[in-house]
Amino acid sequence: MKILAFETSCDETSVAVVEDGKKILSNIISTQINIHKEFGGVVPEIASRHHIENILPVFTEALEKSNCQLNDIDYIAVTNTPGLIGSLLVGLMFAKSLSYANNIPLLPVNHINGHIFSSFIDNDVKLPAISLVVSGGHTNLYYIYEENGKIITDLLGETLDDAVGETYDKIARILGLEYPGGPHIDKLSVNGEDVLKIKKPKVDGYNFSFSGIKTFITNYVNNQKMKGNPVSKEDIAKSLQEIIVNVLYDKILTAIKEKDVKTILVAGGVSANRRLREKFSEFKNIKTDQNEQIEVHFPKMEYCTDNAAMIGVAAYYDLKNNSQVEQRKQYDVDAISTKN
């Protein structure tokens, strides 16, 4: 089964062809990072204009690279929520038109579901699993298990305020680093010391809170500047890495203790983070309830940030779960910007 997938929820225009939910025949990503850099963040109106310019060439390239014709395609998948409304609309309208004109059923896909299922590319995932989605807008923890042949994703917890990627980007801005800040902080931290030793936020259950960490660092930087003391970007980067990675690690450790967990899946842009990858490999030293080693999976870099391959894979599992049967031929699917 071949799925042609579209992703335009933020500032990446991406089109992919996915075979049987596993094999990525093509995955073309056109990113606008360089355009939005000078504004210090994504400008929604500019993003949607660029999607309009990019979508046709990206689609053409993805189809060519996959060696498929439109009549080889069984389904068209498209991100319809959450994201920037103007950006979402470009992908959705393009996919709808293509679907209608060629009589290929349309599958709307939740972008965060896409991030979750990016872990299933190139991997035979052993369930039950814990999935952590850490991106620019989300910090969500899921328990994923199989029931009656269906894959269930239960949201265990989420951030009550800022997302992890957002925290990286905001601190980067304070330090005068370019957008997106995550990769810069990741690099700088290698030569830094954890001088701030920030305390863990107290949040019950599986939820997270990162805005206090941001305030703490902002106050520290302002105080140092007021006193005329030098501020080491490397040390702040290292301190931020340590607190964030430890908070995420601890919540997952709790889940491993409380639940039957065979695999840890990490997805979203922040899953590219070096310290996160290093620290999370420690989970492999923990044994499952069946006395086997816990597996830890990070997606390949091209599937960490926004891409259409993950949308095609999520659509495949949605279909398998039969959750969208009624929607397949409907063209009244809307773009919805909010996360729910």
Q: What angle do CA 118, 248, 290 make, to 5 degrees?
A: 75
Q: Is the Cβ of residue 186 or residue 306 nearer to Fe ion in the bound state?
A: 306
User: Rounded CA gap, 104 and 4, in Å?
Assistant: 10
Which of 11, 162, 186, 306 lies at the binding interface for Fe ion (CB under 5 A)? 306
Residue 272 found at the interface with ligand ATP (CB under 6 A): yes
Residue 66 found at the interface with Fe ion (CB under 5 A): no
HSE-up of residue 182 (Cα within 13 Å, Cβ side): 25
Select from Mg ion, Fe ion, ligand ATP, none the partner in contact with residue 299, using the beta carbon and a kind-dependent cut-off of 5 to 8 Å.
none
Residue 110 found at the interface with Fe ion (CB under 5 A): no
Cβ–Cβ under 8 Å, residues 62 and 22:
no
Which of 157, 181, 299, 312 lies at the binding interface for ligand ATP (CB under 6 A)? 181
- Three-state DSSP state, 198: coil
Residue 135 found at the interface with ligand ATP (CB under 6 A): yes
Taking CB under 5 A as the criterion, which residues in 125-164 touch Fe ion? 135
Residue 269 found at the interface with ligand ATP (CB under 6 A): yes
Residue 297 found at the interface with ligand ATP (CB under 6 A): no
Least separation in angstroms between residue 71's CB and ligand ATP is 32
Closest C-alpha to 333, from 13, 79, 116, 1: 79
Buried b (16+ CB within 10 A) or exposed e, 187-222: ebbeebebebebeebebeebbbbbebbbebbeebbe
Q: Is the Cβ of residue 8 or residue 241 nearer to Fe ion in the bound state?
A: 8
User: Rounded CA gap, 103 and 42, in Å?
Assistant: 35
Residue 186 found at the interface with ligand ATP (CB under 6 A): yes
Q: Is the Cβ of residue 6 or residue 168 nearer to ligand ATP in the bound state?
A: 168
Buried b (16+ CB within 10 A) or exposed e, 58-74: bbeebbeebebeeeebe
Rg (CA), the chain: 20
Number of residues near ligand ATP (by CB under 6 A):
24
User: Rounded CA gap, 105 and 96, in Å?
Assistant: 9
- Provide the 8-state DSSP code for 177: P
Residue 162 found at the interface with Mg ion (CB under 5 A): no
Instruction: Fill in the per-residue mask, 3 to 42: x = in contact with Mg ion (CB under 5 A), - = not in contact.
Output: -------x--------------------------------
**Given the rule CB under 6 A, which of 20-28, 150-158, 161-169, 280-288 is the region that contacts ligand ATP?**
161-169
Binding-site residue set for Fe cation: 111, 115, 306
Cβ–Cβ under 8 Å, residues 318 and 65:
no
Binding-site residue set: 111, 115, 133-137, 169, 182, 186, 273, 306
Q: What angle do CA 212, 223, 166 make, to 5 degrees?
A: 35
Q: Is the Cβ of residue 110 or residue 239 nearer to Mg ion in the bound state?
A: 110
Residues 6 or more apart from 250 whose CB is under 8 A from it? Answer: 200
Select from ligand ATP, Fe ion, Mg ion, none the partner in contact with residue 182, using the beta carbon and a kind-dependent cut-off of 5 to 8 Å.
ligand ATP
Cβ–Cβ under 8 Å, residues 81 and 110:
yes
**Given the rule CB under 5 A, which of 172-180, 196-204, 231-239, 306-314 is the region that contacts Fe ion?**
306-314
Closest C-alpha to 212, from 199, 222, 224: 199
- Residue whose Cβ sits closest to ligand ATP: 269
Q: Is the Cβ of residue 86 or residue 268 nearer to ligand ATP in the bound state?
A: 268
Interaction site with ligand ATP (CB under 6 A): 9-10, 83, 111, 115, 135-138, 165, 168-169, 180-183, 186, 268-270, 272-273, 305-306
Interaction site with Mg ion (CB under 5 A): 10, 306
